[in-house]
Amino acid sequence: MSDDGQQGTAQERVPSRQRKRFPGISSRAYEHPADRSALVALRKLSGFDTVFKALSGLLPERSLRLLFLSDSVRVSERQFAHLHDMLRDACYILDLEKVPPMYVAQDPQPNAMCIGLDEPIIVVTTGLIELLDEEEMRAVVGHEVGHALSGHAVYRTILLFLTTLALKVAWIPLGNFAVMALVTALREWFRKSELSADRAGLLVGQDVKASMRGLMKLAGGNHLHEMNVDAFLEQAEEYEAGGDLRDSVLKILNVLPRSHPFATIRAAELKKWAESRDYQRIMDGHYPRRSEDKDTSARESFRESAASYADDMKSSKDPLMKLVSDLAGGAGDLGGRVRRGFDGFRSPPQPGEGPKDAPQE
């Protein structure tokens, strides 16, 4: 940042320690396939452009900027200098030329977000700063810069606005239904976009252990000596594989109102990507460039997303996903498998009674 307090370009400073840089990297390099296709789907929705333009005029973006400017601390060389260095570092590594403004907001709840329609703004809370160490925080800053590079801030801002709007029109049955349908679709996309941003955070920090620790702290607080990454990842495996069809349904219901995936799931997904060939190719300098984005096929994005969902379904240990995968593969006895999956919903037989479906003598 220059002496007059204006934001400069990311190229003015090199990273604080030796890390690989990715000149011209496209966000497609790290985006989850479902994230990319969901964005394409949103833009293809009939009337979405009209709705988007209308919302752009209604959203209080100017008010938000003034609010953060007046009631938060803007990160600079003179304020939260270590965050200022991390921000420039992240923008340098991901080759984001214009460094977005960052603010620190007083809030004990650990959180960070990237919002804005015209230009992204990054906000981190004091609770998050106090929770994470330097390398964990670096991954978070990279996460938010990844959101900015992908253009997620626009849809995040709309999601926040629509969530507030849904509460105001809750008394209008059809109006609330329409808004909540759009909110639900946006939340599903945003959960996938968080997985993309986690990957961007890893590309910036280039320390998978720090990324894992940060996610673990978001779940369990600042008690690192009491926690273990391997045990934390085992929770994700147990969550995915455990239970029956009832648990599968409850998992869906639990995640619907959330904008972020559960912390254990994020950790497991990030570890899987860090061990993949895709990540290694990026680290070796082989990745899609922004200059090629205009030639990207929407159909190809949908195809990649469908393939990703199919692979996830085949490898999933979740009872519902296994059932769907088996049925898609031609397995029979649908009625019997569903009945067995939901057997736990039945009331247990009372003393002196046989099973409820047993023939009476």
The per-residue pLDDT for 310 is 52
The answer to whether residue 253 is domain-embedded is no
Active site residues per annotation: 144
Do the domain assignments include residue 1? no
Q: CA 159 to CA 260: how far, in whole Å?
A: 12
Q: What is the number of domains present in the chain?
A: 1
Burial degree of 52 (CB within 10 A; 0-12, 13-18, 19+): middle
The answer to whether residue 166 is domain-embedded is yes
The answer as to whether 74 is a domain residue is: yes
Would you say residue 170 lies in a domain? Answer: yes
**pLDDT, position 182:** 66
Q: What is the pTM of this model?
A: 0.74
In a domain, 165, yes or no: yes
- What pLDDT is stored for residue 212 in this prediction? 97
- 275 is a domain residue: yes
> How far is the C-alpha of 260 from the C-alpha of 257, rounded, in Å?
9
* First vs last C-alpha separation in the chain: 87
Q: Do residues 260 and 191 lie in contact, with contact meaning Cβ atoms separated by under 8 Å?
A: yes
DSSP structure class, residue 45: S
Neighbours of 212 (CB within 10 A): 23
The β-bridge partners of 114 are 122
Taking the C-alpha atoms of residue 302 and residue 287, their distance in angstroms, rounded to an integer, is 19
- Each of the 361 residues of the chain gets a pLDDT tens digit; together they read 434 444 544 444 444 558 999 999 999 999 988 787 766 565 555 555 556 656 655 556 677 888 899 999 999 999 999 999 999 999 999 999 999 999 999 999 999 999 886 789 999 999 999 999 999 999 999 999 999 998 887 777 776 666 666 666 555 565 566 666 666 767 777 788 999 999 999 999 999 999 999 999 999 999 999 999 999 999 999 988 777 777 778 877 887 778 789 999 999 999 999 999 999 999 999 999 998 877 665 555 556 555 554 555 455 555 545 545 554 555 445 445 444 544 554 545 555 554 444 444 4
As beta bridge partners, residue 192 has: none
Give the C-alpha separation, 222 to 213, whole Å.
10
Q: 165: domain range?
A: 10-227+262-313
156-186 burial, b at 16+ Cβ within 10 Å, e below that, comes to bbbbbbbbebbeeeeeeeeebeebbebbeeb
Answer whether residue 121 is part of any domain. yes
